[in-house]
């Protein structure tokens, strides 16, 4: 899979690999300033042609450079400098076979004259899948010099040869499919992002614009899928400007976007906002069909460095992104960082991921899958096919990231692979490629991931929050709690215009849902997704009852031991929400009601319902709520909500309720 990275990625990702070329140019005598005797040749005609070719090369007159440098090299079989320039030029232009010829001659003539030449030769041989020869020259380079960065690259090159030799022999399935003309155009499209329901696609497109510097800019486009067909992509007017916007991430419901925006020449962002660094992360929210004006995320997420390529986890509060930092040698090092949204609504200090992910080389194009435990990213610092390869890492029980796994060949090639996005089902991936047969330049494609690289499947809840009394939409805070860990799994805000929300959940766990809004009693429900299906999402109506006398809600996430009034720890989250409701409405008085199904003796059910109601009331008053505000009553099996003839009905009838008095 061949990919030419977009400007956000390209600027930093190629710097390190071009560094060897820069060092090489600086190591060869400058033709304009050279003194007699400085060259490896004494042939004056050859030297004159070399100087002429060098001048053409600096002016990027490639045909002139190639012609004069080749003549100079042919005049003197021992003249090393023109051979180095030719090798550099062909390597920089992607003509690996031609670069191989000239690097081979440099190494054959005098391997110690320009020691990086052996490393260049090894890298070119690797690109051409001459793995045995490449490994030989990587090892040979290590005997010539001990420069730290190049030594590290040579050691990695040896590992790459071992990996690639086997990967080419055992290719993984790979059949990419173009997303079609409604998404792709003659312009480059890249950095896809998709909502949890796989219905809305966001991506970056670079378009021509004569009114801006360089005559082009980057904007966001959105396409919706209906019956497997993508709609004609449209812009986001309030987010897209005359500056560059790109590399965005959507919240699972598609209502928040965090993206990269780079400063103009004066350090501003085109709208009077000044950022923390050259490229910063911004956020915008969609209300109905309108997007808000983007806000800079500010410090500590943004810094004087270069922040880009964000990925927001399905919990809505964990943000992964790439930061490029200036190293002592002038190179930009790119690493993956993570920041978590705190209770104060601000992102905390970003921390770099551990050494299992970040290397001394380049990491970029990060995606945290909606399962929250599978990380996809690109790197040229782990063993692979050369250049940037795509890797997957899985979170371990202690929260650390496991050893990255290469997605394999031909998904990864000797070129750069990045800009990959894996859908919520864990099976389908999207990527950008300039492969033959596309609409033009970079296009977006989809393909099925090999089973070994797939993430855990996730389900989602698509709901709508309304006022129970009038049916109007309500903006509410919707939270899903993992009942096993008692921790927040994900959260979302319902749209104030429509009341709709979407939250994404890994299959195989049980969750408690709570929705709350000011002036309303909260909504409570629990879901067993342990037996759920990724093909059958939950559709949920969430009616919120205004806080008025007589309003009643069921506390579906209060749990007891069987035939007992002992409150289980999984109830703590819901009890905390009830406490906040009571403290936020200091004049409200409530009754806690206990209800059972009809299994067992009537008298025992009555007693159990009373004890459970008393237990909940005691919990509330034990945390500072005046006992005069809380009463309790047991109703036994007298007020069923469903039929006691079915397990589903009996489950509805076993409940704890509160009623506003």
User: Could you tell me if 529 and 591 lie in one domain?
Assistant: no
CA nearest to 415, candidates 375, 369, 380 = 380
> Residue 371 maps to which CATH number?
2.120.10.30
* Residue 530 shares a structural domain with residue 585: no
Q: Which of 228-232, 266-270, 280-284 has the lowest mean pLDDT?
A: 266-270
Shared domain check, 513 and 385: no
Question: Per-residue pLDDT for 237 more than 80?
Answer: no
> Which pLDDT does position 269 carry in this prediction?
53
CATH number at residue 620: 3.30.1330.60
Q: Does residue 601 register a pLDDT over 70?
A: yes
- Please indicate, yes or no, if residue 500 is contained in any of the structural domains: yes
240-266: pLDDT as tens digits: 666 677 788 888 777 888 988 876 544
- pLDDT tens for each residue of 517-544: 989 998 888 766 544 455 567 788 899 9
Q: Which residues pair with 206 in a beta bridge?
A: 218
The whole-number pLDDT of residue 3 equals 42
**In-domain check, residue 77:** no
The answer to the question of residue 94 being in a domain is no
Q: Which of 499, 521, 546 is the last residue of a domain?
A: 546
492 and 588 belong to one structural domain: no
Q: DSSP state, 332?
A: E
E-strand ranges in 530-586 read 538-544, 552-555
- Scanning the structure block, which residue is given the tokens 């004569």? 210
Of 524, 546, 568, the residue at which a domain comes to its end is: 546
Do 494 and 558 share a structural domain?
no
Nearest of 452, 462, 451, 441 to residue 527 by alpha carbon:
462
In the predicted structure, residue 586 carries a pLDDT above the cut 70? yes
Q: What is the CATH number of the domain that holds 496?
A: 2.60.40.2190
Residue 244, both tokens: 């560059």
For residue 597, being part of any structural domain is answered with yes
Position 651 in a domain: yes
| Final residue belonging to a domain, choices 495, 520, 546 | 546
Domain count, the chain: 3
pLDDT over 60 at 275, yes or no:
no
Task: Please say whether the beta carbons of 549 and 660 come within 8 A.
Answer: yes
- Cβ-in-10-Å burial (0-12, 13-18, 19+) of 207 comes to middle
- In this prediction the pTM is 0.79
Residue 306 lies in a domain: yes
For 584-606, letters b (16+ CB in 10 Å) and e give ebeebebbbbbbbbbeeeeeebb
121 falls within a domain: no
* 355 plus 372 within the same structural domain: yes
Residue 94 to residue 398: CA distance in whole angstroms? 44
Q: What's the domain range around 356?
A: 177-453
- E-assigned strands of 360-420? 363-368, 374-379, 389-394, 405-406
Please tell me the least confidently modeled range out of 301-315, 321-335, 386-400: 321-335
Q: Is 393 a domain residue?
A: yes
Identify whether residues 517 and 608 lie together within a single domain.
no
Maximum mean pLDDT: which of 261-270, 276-285, 334-343: 334-343
**Helices 116-127 & 96-109 angle (0-180, nearest 10):** 150
Statement to judge: residues 326 and 418 lie in one domain? yes
Give the other-Cβ count within 10 Å of 3's Cβ.
25
Same domain, 422 and 484: no
Report the C-alpha gap between 65 and 270 in whole angstroms.
Answer: 40
Q: Which two tokens stand for residue 156?
A: 């990695």
496 and 643, same structural domain?
A: no
Same-domain pairing of 508 and 471: yes
Burial of residue 274, with CB atoms counted within 10 A of its CB: 0-12 exposed, 13-18 middle, 19 or more buried: exposed
Query: 270 and 244 in one domain?
Result: yes
């Amino acid at each position: 899979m061949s990919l030419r990275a977009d400007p956000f990625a390209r600027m930093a990702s190629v710097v390190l690999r071009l560094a060897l070329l820069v060092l090489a140019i600086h190591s060869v005598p400058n033709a304009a300033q050279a003194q007699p005797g400085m060259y490896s040749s004494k042939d004056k005609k050859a030297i004159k042609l070399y100087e002429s070719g060098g001048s053409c090369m600096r002016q990027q007159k490639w045909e002139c450079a190639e012609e004069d440098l080749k003549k100079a090299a042919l005049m003197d079989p021992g003249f090393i400098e023109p051979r180095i320039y030719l090798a550099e030029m062909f390597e920089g232009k992607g003509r690996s076979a031609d670069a191989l010829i000239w690097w081979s001659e440099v190494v054959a003539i005098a391997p110690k004259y320009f020691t990086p030449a052996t490393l260049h030769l090894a890298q070119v041989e690797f690109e051409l899948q001459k793995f045995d020869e490449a490994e030989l020259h990587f090892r040979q380079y290590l005997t010539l010099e001990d420069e730290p960065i190049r030594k590290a690259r040579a050691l990695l090159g040896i590992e790459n040869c071992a990996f690639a030799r086997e990967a080419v022999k055992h290719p993984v399935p790979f059949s990419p499919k173009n997303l079609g003309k409604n998404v792709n155009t003659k312009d480059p499209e890249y950095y896809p992002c998709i909502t949890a329901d796989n219905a809305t696609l966001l991506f970056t497109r670079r378009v021509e614009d004569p009114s801006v510097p360089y005559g082009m800019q980057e904007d966001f486009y959105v396409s919706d899928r209906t019956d497997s067909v993508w709609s004609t992509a449209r812009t986001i007017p309030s987010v897209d400007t005359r500056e560059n916007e790109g590399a965005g991430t959507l919240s699972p419901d598609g209502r928040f976007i965090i993206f990269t925006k780079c400063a103009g020449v004066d350090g501003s962002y085109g709208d009077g906002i000044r950022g923390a660094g050259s490229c910063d992360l911004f956020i915008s929210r969609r209300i109905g069909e309108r997007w808000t004006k983007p806000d800079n995320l500010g410090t500590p997420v943004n810094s004087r460095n270069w922040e880009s390529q964000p990925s927001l986890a399905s919990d809505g509060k964990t943000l992964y992104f790439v930061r490029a930092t200036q190293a002592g040698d002038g190179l930009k090092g790119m690493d993956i960082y993570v920041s978590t949204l705190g209770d104060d609504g601000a992102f905390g200090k970003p921390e770099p991921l551990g050494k299992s992910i970040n290397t001394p080389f380049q990491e970029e194009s990060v995606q945290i899958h909606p399962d929250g435990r599978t990380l996809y990213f690109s790197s040229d610092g782990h063993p692979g096919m050369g250049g940037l390869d795509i890797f997957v890492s899985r979170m371990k029980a202690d929260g650390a990231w496991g050893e990255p796994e290469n997605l394999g060949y031909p998904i990864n090639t000797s070129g750069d692979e990045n800009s990959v996005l894996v859908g919520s089902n864990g099976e389908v991936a999207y990527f950008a490629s300039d492969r033959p047969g596309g609409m033009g330049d970079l296009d977006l494609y989809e393909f099925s991931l090999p089973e070994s690289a797939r993430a855990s499947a996730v389900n989602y809840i698509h709901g709508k929050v309304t006022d129970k009394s009038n049916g109007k939409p309500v903006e509410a805070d919707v939270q899903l709690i993992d009942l096993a860990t008692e921790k927040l799994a994900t959260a979302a805000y319902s749209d104030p215009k429509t009341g709709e929300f979407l939250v994404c959940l890994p299959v195989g766990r049980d969750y408690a849902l709570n929705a709350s809004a000011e002036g309303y009693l909260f909504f409570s429900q629990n879901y067993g997704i342990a037996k759920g299906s990724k093909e059958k999402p939950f559709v949920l109506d969430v009616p919120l009852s205004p806080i008025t006398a007589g309003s009643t809600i069921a506390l579906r996430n209060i749990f007891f031991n069987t035939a007992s009034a002992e409150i289980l720890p999984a109830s703590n989250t819901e009890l905390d929400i009830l406490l906040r409701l009571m403290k936020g409405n200091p004049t409200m008085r409530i009754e806690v009601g206990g209800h059972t199904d009809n299994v067992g003796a009537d008298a025992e059910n009555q007693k159990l319902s009373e004890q459970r109601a008393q237990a909940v009331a005691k919990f509330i008053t034990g945390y500072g709520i005046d006992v005069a505000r809380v009463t309790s009553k047991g109703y036994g099996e007298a007020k069923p909500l469903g039929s006691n003839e079915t397990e589903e009905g009996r489950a509805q009838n076993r409940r704890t309720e509160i009623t506003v008095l």
